[in-house]
Homo-oligomer: A and B are copies of this chain.
Amino acid sequence: MHVDLGNGLASVASPGVSRESLERLDERVGRAHERIERGRKNGEFGYAALNLPQETDASAIERTVAPLGDCESVLTVGIGGSALGAATIGEALGLLGISVLDNVDPAWVRETLDGLELAETAVHVVSRSGTTAETLANFLVVREAFEDAGVDWTERTIVTTGEDGPLRTLADRHDLPTLAVPEGVPGRFSALSSVGLVPAAIRRGDVESVLAGAREGTAIGELEGSLFETPAYGYGAATYALSERGAAVNAMLPYAEGLERFAEWFAQLWAESLGKDGLGQLPARALGATDQHSQLQLYRAGPRNAMVTFVRPRERPELSIPETDFEMLSYLGDTDLDTLIDAEFEATEASLAAAGRPSLRIEIDRLDARSVGALLYDMELACVLVGELMGIETFEQPAVEWGKRAARGLLGAEGEFPESEAVGEKTRLSVEPDR
Residue from the list B8, B107, B327, B399 in contact with A300, Cβ < 8 A: B399
* A86 to B144 alpha-carbon distance, docked (Å): 35
User: Is A410 among interface residues, defined by CB-CB distance under 8 A?
Assistant: yes
* A213 to B179 alpha-carbon distance, docked (Å): 50
Of all chain B residues, the one with the shortest Cβ separation from A298 is B275
Of the listed stretches A30-38, A51-59, A191-199, A283-291, chain B binds: A283-291
Interface string of A341-368 (1 = CB under 8 A from B): 1011011111101110000000000010
User: Is A432 among interface residues, defined by CB-CB distance under 8 A?
Assistant: yes
Minimum C-beta distance from A61 to chain B (A): 23
Residue from the list B12, B188, B229, B257 in contact with A433, Cβ < 8 A: B229
Chain B residue contacts of A324, Cβ below 8 A? 136, 140
Minimum C-beta distance from A314 to chain B (A): 13
User: Is A333 among interface residues, defined by CB-CB distance under 8 A?
Assistant: yes
Q: Is the CB of B430 within 8 A of A343?
A: no
Q: Which of A252-276 contact B (CB under 8 A)?
A: 255-258, 264, 267-268, 271-272, 274-276
Size bin of chain A's contact surface: 35 or more
* A274 to B249 alpha-carbon distance, docked (Å): 17
Known: A257-B105, A344-B407, A419-B350. A301 touches B277 (CB 8 A): yes
Minimum C-beta distance from A325 to chain B (A): 8
Q: Is the CB of B285 within 8 A of A285?
A: yes
Residue from the list B108, B248, B304 in contact with A305, Cβ < 8 A: B248
Of all chain B residues, the one with the shortest Cβ separation from A237 is B431
Copies of this chain present:
2
* A423 to B348 alpha-carbon distance, docked (Å): 9
Minimum C-beta distance from A168 to chain B (A): 11
Of all chain B residues, the one with the shortest Cβ separation from A432 is B229
User: Is A221 among interface residues, defined by CB-CB distance under 8 A?
Assistant: no
Chain B residue contacts of A419, Cβ below 8 A? 347, 350-351, 354
Q: Is the CB of B351 within 8 A of A406?
A: yes
User: Is A66 among interface residues, defined by CB-CB distance under 8 A?
Assistant: no
Q: Is the CB of A317 within 8 A of B110?
A: yes
Minimum C-beta distance from A418 to chain B (A): 11
Of all chain B residues, the one with the shortest Cβ separation from A94 is B107
Chain B residue contacts of A347, Cβ below 8 A? 403-404, 406-407, 410, 419-420, 423
Q: Is the CB of A106 within 8 A of B341?
A: yes
Residue from the list B79, B316, B398 in contact with A106, Cβ < 8 A: B316
Minimum C-beta distance from A188 to chain B (A): 8
User: Is A60 among interface residues, defined by CB-CB distance under 8 A?
Assistant: no
* A109 to B434 alpha-carbon distance, docked (Å): 50
User: Is A339 among interface residues, defined by CB-CB distance under 8 A?
Assistant: yes
Minimum C-beta distance from A171 to chain B (A): 11
